[in-house]
Amino acid sequence: MKDVLNNKFTDQVRFTHEHLTPQITEYLAIHEYEIKDNAKKIIDSAKQYNSYNAFEKLMQEYDLSSDEGIVLMCLAEALLRIPDSKTINDLIEDKIPSGKWKDHIKNDNSIFVNISSIAFLMTGKILRQGELNETDIFISALKNISKPVLRTIIKQSINLLAKQFIFEKDIHKASKLSSKLKDSIYAYSFDMLGEGARTYADSTKYFENYKNAILTIGKSTSKKQHSISIKLSALHPRYERSKLDLLRKELLPKLFELINLAKSMNVDICFDAEEADRLNLSLFLVEDILNSDLIDSEYTGFGIAVQAYQQRAMFVLHWLSSKLLLLNKKMNVRLVKGAYWDTEIKLAQEKGLINYPVFTKKFITDLSYLRCAHILETSQNIFPQFATHNAFTIAYVQCLFKDKPHEFQKLHGMGDEIYNHFDNNEDFSCRVYAPVGGHNDLLPYLVRRLLENGANTSFIHQLNKKNSTIDDLTQSPLSKIPMIEHNQINKPESIFPNRKNSYGVDLTEEKNITTFSNLQILHDVKAYSIINGIDQITKVKEKIAKPYDLNLKIGEAYFADESVINAAIKSLNGFSQNWKSSSLDERILIVHKFANLLEKNYHNLVSYCVQEAGKTIQDSIADIREAVDFCRYYAEEAKKILQENNLPGPTGEKNIYKLKARGLTCVISPWNFPVAIYVGQMIASLITGNVTLVKPAEQTSGISYFIFKLLLKAGLPKEAAALVLGKGENIGPTVFSTKGLQNVVFTGSLNTAKIIQQQLHQREDLINLIAETGGLNCLIADSSALTEHVVDDVINSAFNSAGQRCSACRILFIEENVYNKTMLMLKGALETLSISSPELISTDVGPVIDVQSREKIERHLSQFNKKFQLAIDVNQGNFIPPTIIEIENISDVRDEIFGPVLHVLTFKSKNLNELCNQINSLNYGLTLGIHSRIDRVISTLTNNINVGNIYINRNIVGAVVGSQPFGGHNKSGTGPKAGGPEYLKKFCYEYSISNNVVAMGGNVDLLSNVYD
C-alpha cells in the first residue's frame, strides 16, 4: 500500500515507455493480425449500424471544435437548470447568434438535425435583426411570437442530449426496464445520478437513493447479476484526502452499511473512480473494506473502477492483486481510461505540481489500458470488467481473455454501434452503465459525455467522422511510440514562457502529508532588526504567541528604537549610489537564488506561517508560492524595463530614454501574507536598484527575520537593505520625515494608508506612495450559474484564510429566483467547515490574527440579528465562527470587515445597472466576482463596475503573479498592480538624455551614407 500511496509513482518514477510496452510488444508480435482483424469487423459493423439515434446525428453535425458545437455544449450545460423563461431567453439570445447554423441544413441530414438547425438559425436571425432595428414593430412582433416556439424547440434539442444518457427517471422504472430486456447480452450497473454533495443533507439524500436502489435491484426478478455504481463524493460533502479521519468516522460506516445490504440482496457494488487527488483516499477506504469481515468468500461482488490514464494505474492493480491474494478474497475491477483528463491537466498546472498525475498522450493512455489488462490477466482474485468503446482496445482484450472470465462494459447511450457487433454472441457478456435520475442531477455527467463524444481524441468521435478510415481506426497505439516526444504538454513548472512556475506542495500526496503534519515546533524564536547584516539587540521586546493558543509563546521580537531606525537610514543612504549602479545581472542572480532558497525552506516557512500568523497549511503553501513567483516575475520584468531605449529624432542627435532606481525606499508589509507581500514589495524595490528599509507587520516579526536572513544568504549586499521591526506608529514618523526618502510602498488598512499619506504631505518634496488597501468585494450570481459552483467559490473566497485577504468576498448578491436554493446549500456547506488549529491538515478555517481584530469583528457581528454561524468548540485563541449575515441593503455594510464574515442579499436581473451603481457607490474598487453563463450580464457588470480585478465563473481570491496582476483603486489603493507589468516602473525615475553627437566635428554617419 505504502508504495502505491506515496508519491513515488507520480513524482520520482517518470513514465518511460519501457514500463508499459515490452509485454504489449511481445503480445502483438504474435496476435496483431487477429486483433486488427477483429477490430476491423467491429468497425465494419459499427459503420453499417443505423441507430436512428438523433443524439449521435446531432453530435456528428456539431463538432465540439466548431462554434456551433461549443454553443450546443454551453446550452446543454446551463439551459435545463435555469428556473425562469427570461433567463432561458437571455441565454439563448446570448449563445445562438454566434453560430453558422445555415451550413448545417443539408439534404442528407436527419430531419431532427435539420429542424434543430433551422430553429437555431431562425432564432439567430431574429435576434440579430432585433439588434439592428429594435424599433421595427414587425421585427419585434415576430420576435415575441416566435420566442416561445423557438425556445421550446431549442429546449427539446437540449433535452434530447440529456435524455440520451438517462436510462430511467427512477430506480423502479429502471429495474422494470432492465427486466424487460432480459434476453439481451446486457446486464446493468445502475448509477444513481448526483455527485459531489456539498451538504450533509445532500449526502444523506444520495445515501438513501443508493440504499433504495440496492433494495429494488435485489428484489428484481432479473436473471442477470445487476450492480450499483457509487460515487463516493456523493456520500460525503468533504470527500477529500485531508479529511481522511473524519471520513473514516462518518463515511466508512455508510459504505459498510451499503455493502452489507448489497451482500444480503446479492447485488454487486462498484465505486466509481473520480479525480486523481482522491485516488489515495479511495484506496485507504478500500483497504479498510477489504480488511473487514464484510468481504468474504461468499461475497465477491465488491469492486472499484481504476483509471488507466493515471500514472499510478498499474501500481494500483499490482497492489490490489497482491492484497487480495494475501487476504484470500475476491473483488471486481472495472478498468476505465478515465473521464476527467482536461480537469487533471488544469489542476496540476494551477497547483504547480512536479508532474501530471495522468498521462499526457492519448496513445499512452491506450497502452496503459492494455498493460493493466495484462496485470488483470495474471491476477487470480480479480474479476476484470473492461469499460471501453474503443474497437482496438476491445479486440485486444478479447484476444487476451479468450479463455478467461471477464466482461465488457459500456455507457448507456454510447457505443451502441460498437457493441451491436456482439449482439448475437452468447459467449459475450457486457454490462451497461445506466444513469438513473432527473435532469437536475445529470449536468456534470452530461458535460463529461458530450466532451467524450465530441473530442477529437475520442475513439467514438473518430469513428463517427465521415472521413475516418479503417486503417486509422485499427492502428495499434504501439505504432505511435515514435511520436512520444512530439507536441509535449509543458510540465506545470514550464507553463510560463520566460520563468519557472513556483513549485506547489501537493497535500494529497502521502509523503507531503506526513512532512507537513509534523511542523517544526517553534519556541524560543528571537527576531531582531538587521542593519548591515547585524542583529540589533534592543530593550523593547514583545512576546510572539500563537494566535490559536495565546498561552503558547513561540519567542520574542526585539523592536527597533529611534537609534536603530536612524542607523538603518544612515547606512542605507550611504550605499544608495552603489546599489543604484550595481549590475542588474547580479541583482537578478541574487533574486533567483533567493527564490530557490524560499522553495528549499518550505517546511520552515510553513511552520512560521502557521504558528506565528495562524494560517492554515494550505494557505501557507499558497503564500510561499506567490512569493517565489514574485521573485521570478520581477526578475524578468526588470530585464525588460531597465534596458536603455533609443528614441527617434533628427539626424546628428542621440536620444536615450531609460529608467533608474529612485533611491531610499520604505516598504511596509502586512501580516496576512507574511511571505508573499513582504517578499514581493521588498524584491520589487531591490531589483530595480533601490536601497530598502523593510518594516514588516509587528505580528509577523519572526518570519520576517527568518526570510530576511535567507535574502542575505542569497548574496544580497548587507548594506542594500535593512530590516526594522516594530510598530508602524513608532517607526513611520521618523522614516517618513527622512531627507532622501524617495518611495513608500504600503499594503494594509485604508486608515493606516491615509495616516501615511498625511505624514508624507508634511514633507517639502513630493514623494511616491504606492498603497494597496482592502475592499468591500462583491460576488454576483445569477440564475444561469451552477449553484454548486457558486457555493464552492463563495465558501472559498469568503472563509479561506479566515477571510483575512484583501480580495476576500464580503458581499454576495444572489438573483432572487435562486436565492433560497443557493442559501440552503451555502449554509449547508458552511456547516461542513472545520475551524480549528491550523497545525492540522484537516483545518479549513484558522484564527484571526489578534485580539483587536477579533473584537472588531465581534462588534460588527453583534449589530445583526439575521445571521447564520458555524458552531465552534475552540476557545483558546482568536477564533471567529464563519458567519453568513442576510442583509436588505448594501448600505448595511460600510467598512471592510477583515474576517470570516459574508453578507448576502438578493437582486433582480432587471436592476443590473442599479446594482452596478450601488457597488460603485461603496467607493472601493478591488475585486469582483461574477457567476453567470450569459455574456450580456457579464459584459454589463464588467463594463460598469469599477474594480481592479474581475473574476468570472471562478473564485475571487488567489491572484496569480503575471496572470492576474493584483490591485484596485479608490479606497482600495493607488496602483500600480502587484505582479503586473507596470509595478516595477513605479520604483524608478524616468530619464531622457539627448546628446548632440555632431557637436564635436560633423555628422559623420550622415556623410558616410551614399544617397545617389
Residues marked active site are found at 772, 806
Of residues 21 and 773, the one with the C-beta less far from ligand FAD: 21
Among 35, 119, 232, 273, binds ligand FAD (CB under 6 A): 273
The site string for ligand FAD over 400-419 (x = CB under 6 A, - otherwise) reads ---------xxx--------
Q: Which helix (H) or strand (E) holds 618?
A: helix 617-641
Q: How far is the CB of 832 from ligand FAD (least distance, A)?
A: 24
Is residue 906 near ligand FAD by the rule CB under 6 A? no
Of residues 273 and 724, the one with the C-beta less far from ligand FAD: 273
Q: How far is the CB of 10 from ligand FAD (least distance, A)?
A: 15
CA-to-CA dists, residue 185 to 43, 110, 213, 409, 804, angstroms: 19, 29, 22, 11, 59
Residue 771 and residue 668: Cα distance in Å, rounded?
A: 10
Residue 614 and residue 620: Cα distance in Å, rounded?
A: 9
Phi, psi for residue 801 in degrees, rounded to 5:
55, 25
Q: How far is the CB of 305 from ligand FAD (least distance, A)?
A: 4
Of residues 97 and 338, the one with the C-beta less far from ligand FAD: 338
Of residues 332 and 909, the one with the C-beta less far from ligand FAD: 332
814 by Cβ neighbours in 10 Å (0-12 / 13-18 / 19+) ranks as buried
Of residues 340 and 383, the one with the C-beta less far from ligand FAD: 340
Among 284, 299, 459, 898, binds ligand FAD (CB under 6 A): 459
**SS (HEC) of 234-285:** HHCCCCCHHHHHHHHHHCHHHHHHHHHHHHHHCCEEEECCCCHHHHHHHHHH
Among 55, 302, 309, 705, binds ligand FAD (CB under 6 A): 309
Residues with Cβ < 8 Å from 323, sequence gap 6 or more? 1, 287, 290
Stretch of residues binding ligand FAD (CB under 6 A), selected from 438-446, 452-460, 555-563, 943-951 = 452-460
Residues with Cβ < 8 Å from 884, sequence gap 6 or more? 823, 826, 827, 830, 867, 868, 869, 902, 903, 904
Is the C-alpha dihedral spanning 666, 672, 676, 677 positive or negative?
A: negative
Q: Which helix (H) or strand (E) holds 853?
A: helix 851-861
Cα dihedral: 926, 929, 930, 935 (round 10): 50
Is residue 164 near ligand FAD by the rule CB under 6 A? no
Count CB-CB contacts under 10 A for residue 488. Answer: 10
Of residues 409 and 883, the one with the C-beta less far from ligand FAD: 409
Of residues 445 and 746, the one with the C-beta less far from ligand FAD: 445
Number of residues that bind ligand FAD (CB under 6 A): 31
For residue 685, what is the DSSP state? H
Residue 572 and residue 568: Cα distance in Å, rounded?
A: 6
Residue 594 and residue 62: Cα distance in Å, rounded?
A: 52
Residue 428 and residue 409: Cα distance in Å, rounded?
A: 11
Of residues 276 and 790, the one with the C-beta less far from ligand FAD: 276
Count CB-CB contacts under 10 A for residue 838. Answer: 29
Q: How far is the CB of 432 from ligand FAD (least distance, A)?
A: 7
Query: Cα Rg for the chain, rounded, in angstroms?
Result: 32
Of residues 209 and 390, the one with the C-beta less far from ligand FAD: 390
Among 441, 452, 698, 772, binds ligand FAD (CB under 6 A): 452
Stretch 423-442 residues interacting with ligand FAD (CB under 6 A): 433
Among 91, 267, 305, 744, binds ligand FAD (CB under 6 A): 305
Of residues 444 and 976, the one with the C-beta less far from ligand FAD: 444
Q: How far is the CB of 174 from ligand FAD (least distance, A)?
A: 15
Q: How far is the CB of 365 from ligand FAD (least distance, A)?
A: 4
Stretch 340-399 residues interacting with ligand FAD (CB under 6 A): 340-341, 359-362, 365-366, 387-390, 393
CA triple 866-895-950, angle to 5 deg: 95
CA-to-CA dists, residue 214 to 209, 230, 261, 411, angstroms: 9, 11, 7, 20
Stretch of residues binding ligand FAD (CB under 6 A), selected from 337-345, 372-380, 785-793, 974-982 = 337-345
Residue 340 corresponds to which cell in the numbers above?
Answer: 476527467
Instruction: Render 719-782 in DSSP notation, one character per residue.
Output: TTEEE--S-HHHHHHHHHT-TT--EEEEES-HHHHHHHHHHHHTSSS--EEEEE----EEEEE-
Stretch of residues binding ligand FAD (CB under 6 A), selected from 260-268, 339-347, 592-600, 618-626 = 339-347
Residue 643 and residue 584: Cα distance in Å, rounded?
A: 10
Q: How far is the CB of 190 from ligand FAD (least distance, A)?
A: 11
Q: How far is the CB of 211 from ligand FAD (least distance, A)?
A: 20
529 contacts 558 by C-beta, under 8 angstroms: yes
- Strand residues in 82-130 grouped as ranges (E): none
Stretch 197-226 residues interacting with ligand FAD (CB under 6 A): none
Residue 179 and residue 426: Cα distance in Å, rounded?
A: 18
Of residues 397 and 806, the one with the C-beta less far from ligand FAD: 397
Is residue 478 near ligand FAD by the rule CB under 6 A? no
Stretch of residues binding ligand FAD (CB under 6 A), selected from 285-293, 453-461, 691-699, 926-934 = 453-461
**Widest distance between CA atoms in the chain:** 108
Q: How far is the CB of 292 from ligand FAD (least distance, A)?
A: 22
Q: How far is the CB of 336 from ligand FAD (least distance, A)?
A: 4
Of residues 233 and 620, the one with the C-beta less far from ligand FAD: 233
Q: How far is the CB of 991 from ligand FAD (least distance, A)?
A: 51
Is the C-alpha dihedral spanning 722, 583, 747, 812 positive or negative?
A: negative
Of residues 366 and 815, the one with the C-beta less far from ligand FAD: 366
Q: How far is the CB of 97 from ligand FAD (least distance, A)?
A: 32
- Taking Cα atoms as reference points, which of 759, 379, 414, 699 lies closest to residue 544? 699
Q: How far is the CB of 29 from ligand FAD (least distance, A)?
A: 22
Residue 996 and residue 999: Cα distance in Å, rounded?
A: 6
849 contacts 803 by C-beta, under 8 angstroms: no
Is residue 339 near ligand FAD by the rule CB under 6 A? yes
Residue ranges binding ligand FAD (CB under 6 A): 272-273, 305, 307, 309, 334, 336-341, 359-362, 365-366, 387-390, 393, 409-411, 433, 452, 457-459
